[in-house]
Every structure is written in structure tokens, then in C-alpha cells.
Amino acid sequence: MKTNLIYIWVLLLAAAFVSCKKDDYFIGGSLHSPKFEGTTYEYLKTNPLFDTLLLLIDRTGLKDEVNAAGTTFFAPSDYSIHNFVKKVVQKRKQLEANDENLVFNFDELDFPQLKDSLRAYIFGEKIVRDGLNKDGKYFTSKDGERRYIALRDDPSNTYQNSGLTTIPKFIYFMKVYGDVDPIVNDQVPDEEKDTRIVAQTTGIITNNGVLHVLSNNHIFTFAKEPK
């Protein structure tokens, strides 16, 4: 799968100057204190970007795990869940029924079956930017699988000639197929490429743990669109 490179533009420009206030984070172009006085679940409730995610958490019974002490949650946005429902599940069912007009909705999902899929984004330890580097390392999620997480420059070199004194770095959340790909993985066959997801917002500190938000173009469950 091609590297995901859809970013919130203003967010990334702001991130270039994060060294000015190291303990802050950026979202939507505005500087925020990293500390939220509430749980991770309560933070998600403050933003309509997570309305569908909250329904998924409730219907899979994972609120307590999301709010467990010392937890890191790489939150898929509502867009990621919509991508899964419409680009994967609905498309599969259309192909099975040979009916391109078939419509599948969120409420029709098998929620018990998706419990471990959501737990793949929850980690029982605090994962923060200061503990990461470009080499990355594996972390084990609550579903028992390992995810490779690294802090890297923008591989598209968008900012190399931008005049910025500090090139922004991004947290990459990866599903690895076989061995970890080299940073430049153009020579790796598409079907063997690691799935790399950029965190569009990072470093929100809640009363129980850490919250990072994945890019909107991510497909929940790391599924690939059927052809």
C-alpha cells in the first residue's frame, strides 16, 4: 500500500516550530496545552470528529480499556471508520451480491467481531514523541499484535526547500509485512509494503494516558480495498 501522505497542511506548518514550546501540541493550526483534564474517552467526546468512533467504543465494550491508566490510544477518526464501512465492507458485499447499488451502513457491522480490531490501536503503556526516533521499534497492542512506531521526517521532502529552520517530524504508526521496510521503500513490491499511517495530531495527555490521532485517510482495521 502506498505511504499515506494526506496531512492537515496548517497543522504540519505549525509543527515545524514545536521546539518553541516543546510541551505543547498542534491541532488545526492552533497551539494547545497538551494536558486535558479528563479521560481519553471524555476528550474524544469534545470533538465531533470522533462521534462514530465513540459509538464503536461503546458497542465493542472498550470504554474501560481506552480509559485504563497508562494507556496510549492511536485513535482512528470517523473518516477512517467510514473508509472501512464504504470502501471495504460495502464494496465486498456489492461484489458478492453482484449489485453495485447495495448500501451497507455502520449499524450493520458485526461489533463483537470488531472488538480486537479496535484493540489493535490501544497500548498498555505510554508512547510519546520523546521516546521515539527514525529507527522506530515494536509495541504490542491490546489485541496481541505488534505495531512498528517511529518518528521520521516527511519522506516526500515537501519541506526540504521551504526555508523552515526546523523540518517537522511525524509519528508513523505501521503494520509490518515480514521485515520492516527501509525508509525509502520504492523498491519493495506494493503487496509487500508496510502500511504506514501518519498521526495528524500527537501528544495529547489525558488523565489516564496519551492520545494520538491517525490521518483521516487511514482505513480502519488496516483493510485494503477489494478489487
Question: What per-residue confidence (pLDDT) applies to 227?
Answer: 82
Task: Read off the pLDDT band of 184 (50, 70, 90).
Answer: confident
- Rounded-to-integer distance, Cα 135 and Cα 92, Å: 36
* Residue 94: C-alpha distances to residues 10, 113, 224 (Å): 38, 20, 15
Q: 9: which 3 cell numbers?
A: 497542511
pLDDT higher than threshold 90 for residue 26:
no
Report residue 3's pLDDT band, with 50, 70 and 90 as the boundaries.
very low
CATH architecture for segment(s) 9-222: Roll (2.30)
Q: What are the beta bridge partners of residue 175?
A: 195
Nearest to 20 by CA among 218, 189, 168, 140: 168
Report the residue count for the chain.
Answer: 227
Q: What mean pLDDT comes out for the span 125-153?
A: 95
Closest CA to 222 of 90, 83, 93, 59: 83
* Strand residue runs (E) in 2-42: 25-27, 30-32
What 3 state SS string does 73-98 have? Answer: EEECCHHHHHHHHHHHHHHHHHHHHC
Q: What number is the average pLDDT over the span 73-85?
A: 98
In percent, the amount of the chain with pLDDT more than 70 equals 80
HSE, side-chain direction, 13 A CA sphere, residue 142: 21
Q: What is the pTM of this model?
A: 0.83
What single-letter DSSP state applies at residue 155? T
The span from the CA of 125 to the CA of 223, in Å, is: 25
Average of per-residue pLDDT across 191-202 = 93
Cα–chain center distance at 214: 2
Instruction: Point out the least confidently predicted range of 90-99, 148-157, 211-220.
Output: 148-157
Q: Which of 23-32, 156-165, 173-182 has the lowest mean pLDDT?
A: 23-32
* Least reliable range by pLDDT among 110-114, 190-194, 205-209: 190-194
